């Protein structure tokens, strides 16, 4: 989905704020949230894409105003509620206030054949274009490369295509590639000659460049 | 953490003004933990073991050992650049978020920078859990759009004639930058070199 999580290229966020000698966990609740998230994912056997999409469908204001461990907490808890283990009302009662959860999942598995593909269609050096489809559900094709042209820089073997599994589809193998885009292709006059961005993409995201 | 305690963050209930105040994040963590415990889905000992591994065993010291070895051993460096996962495993590091490692080398002509624009992908076995800024919108949005401006702001100006290669780890591969060996370190031992390697140099936001 074209959510606020899909941050590549958005403008207006200002300087990166680096904390010197940052601890692994800043506060006790971060460690506990990390542990609860792990516990929920192991217990529910959640697919990685479904968990990521739990974060992606957070309310955008909540997403931008909370830390990453709160994102993990929100996604894991949303999945626990959706699995029927507790009601949202009961969670609010136990927390002693409103427990914000992610919005309902509007995604469906893409309408593509759900069968394993392990033989890569492209070779290093091939020119290709990223399909442009802006799904309602989970994808690992960032918005800033959809519709853009690039060159295959590296073949990485086949791995599980997350867009199916995140929405209840099958676990399906698909070849993955590292694709090189020029800064000019991505950002036009706002780009810079010579600089390049590599994005790792599944073959089902790609089409031949006409 | 005052921002956890004021206002309404929008609502899954379909309206923007929830009557109840937001529960503190600590209370929310306790609430979900209690649900998992009641369902017998929370093996505290096993989970604490995983968390403690992150706290004590995984971190940039592991990556620094990989880098220092590559600086002193050209054969190791060649293996590292050819098959990062296998070469890193030679030093005993691997596992979740490190199963498909690609190491990218900084040279006098090329500077590499790693980001995850969609979430927070990061090579856990060699660098540990990512710092907060790596997961925050400013870094994730700007690294792919204006890396040169961003790096200069972060204290790492890149000369105009050096190419910047950004790596957005959007699938299964996790990246580690092999920084250039700093000048004046010829006489140092491998263990002394390890202390010169910083986390930020292996993400690409610093040069040594």
Domains of chain A: 1-106 (1.10.472.20), 127-208 (2.30.30.50)
Residue A15 C-beta-side C-alpha neighbours within 13 Å: 7
Residue B18 lies in a domain: no
Look up the pTM and report it: 0.94
The ipTM, to two decimals, is 0.97
Check CB contact under 8 Å for B10 and A62.
yes
CA–CA–CA angle A180, B65, B62 (5° rounding): 80
Partners of B199 on chain A (C-beta within 8 Å) are none
Gap between the terminal Cα atoms of chain A = 26
Partners of B148 on chain A (C-beta within 8 Å) are 192, 195
- Residue among B28, B145, B208 nearest A145 (CA): B145
Please tell me the distance from the alpha carbon of residue B115 to that of residue B132, in angstroms, as a whole number.
13
Asked if A13 reaches chain B (Cβ–Cβ under 8 Å), the answer is yes
Number of domains in chain B: 2
Chain A, 143-202: which have a CB under 8 Å from a chain B CB? 144, 154, 156, 159, 176, 178, 186-187, 190, 192, 194-202
Q: Scan for tokens 């929405």, then name that residue.
A: A167
Residue B173 and residue B119 share a domain: yes
Partners of B4 on chain A (C-beta within 8 Å) are 66, 70
What residues of B act catalytically?
A: 116, 119-121
User: In which domain, by residue range, is B70 found?
Assistant: 59-203
Residue B46 and residue B84 share a domain: no
Instruction: Give tens-digit pLDDT for A39-67.
Output: 999 999 999 999 999 999 999 999 999 99
Residue B91 and residue B168 share a domain: yes
pLDDT digit of tens for each residue in chain B (208 aa)?
334 444 444 444 444 555 689 999 999 999 999 999 999 999 999 999 999 999 999 999 999 999 999 999 999 999 999 999 999 999 999 999 999 999 999 999 999 999 999 999 999 999 999 999 999 999 999 999 999 999 999 999 999 999 999 999 999 999 999 999 999 999 999 999 999 999 999 999 999 9
Residue B153 lies in a domain: yes
| Structure tokens belonging to residue B79 | 């293996």
- What's the CATH code of the domain at B151? 3.90.330.10
């Amino acid at each position: 989905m074209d959510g606020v999580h899909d941050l590549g290229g958005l403008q207006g966020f200002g300087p990166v704020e680096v904390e010197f000698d940052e601890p692994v966990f800043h506060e006790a609740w971060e460690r506990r949230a990390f542990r609860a998230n792990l516990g929920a994912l192991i217990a529910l056997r959640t697919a990685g894409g479904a968990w990521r999409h739990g974060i992606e469908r957070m309310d955008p204001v909540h997403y931008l105003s909370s830390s990453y461990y709160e994102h993990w907490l929100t996604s894991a808890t949303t999945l626990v509620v959706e699995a029927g283990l507790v009601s949202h009302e009961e969670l609010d009662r136990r927390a002693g206030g409103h427990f914000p959860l992610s919005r309902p999942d509007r995604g469906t598995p893409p309408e593509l054949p759900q069968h394993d593909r392990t033989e890569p269609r492209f070779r290093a050096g091939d020119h290709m274009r990223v399909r442009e489809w802006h799904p309602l559900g989970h994808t690992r094709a960032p918005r800033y490369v959809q519709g853009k042209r690039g060159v295959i820089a590296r073949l990485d073997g086949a791995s599980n295509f997350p867009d199916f599994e995140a929405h209840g589809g099958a676990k399906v193998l698909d070849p993955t590639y590292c694709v090189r885009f020029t800064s000019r292709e991505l950002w036009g006059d706002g780009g810079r000659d010579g600089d390049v961005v590599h994005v790792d993409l599944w073959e089902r995201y790609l089409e031949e460049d006409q | 953490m005052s921002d956890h305690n004021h206002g309404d963050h929008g609502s899954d209930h379909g309206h923007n003004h929830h009557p109840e105040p937001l529960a503190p994040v600590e209370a929310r963590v306790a609430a979900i933990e209690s649900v998992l415990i009641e369902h017998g889905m929370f093996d505290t000992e096993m989970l604490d073991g995983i968390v403690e591994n992150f706290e004590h065993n995984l971190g940039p010291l592991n990556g620094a050992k990989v880098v220092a070895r590559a600086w002193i051993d050209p054969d190791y460096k060649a293996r590292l650049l050819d098959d990062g996962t296998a070469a890193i495993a030679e030093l005993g590091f691997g596992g979740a978020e490190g199963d498909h490692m690609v190491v990218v080398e900084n040279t006098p002509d090329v500077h590499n920078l790693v980001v995850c624009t969609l979430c927070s992908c990061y090579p856990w076995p060699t660098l540990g859990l990512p710092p907060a800024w790596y997961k925050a919108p400013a870094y994730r949005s700007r690294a792919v759009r204006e890396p040169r401006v961003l790096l200069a702001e972060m204290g790492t100006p890149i000369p105009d004639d050096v190419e910047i290669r950004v790596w957005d780890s959007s699938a299964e591969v996790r990246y580690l930058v092999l920084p250039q060996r700093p000048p004046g370190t010829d006489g140092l031992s491998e263990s002394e070199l390890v202390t010169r390697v910083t986390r930020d140099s292996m993400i690409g936001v610093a040069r040594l």
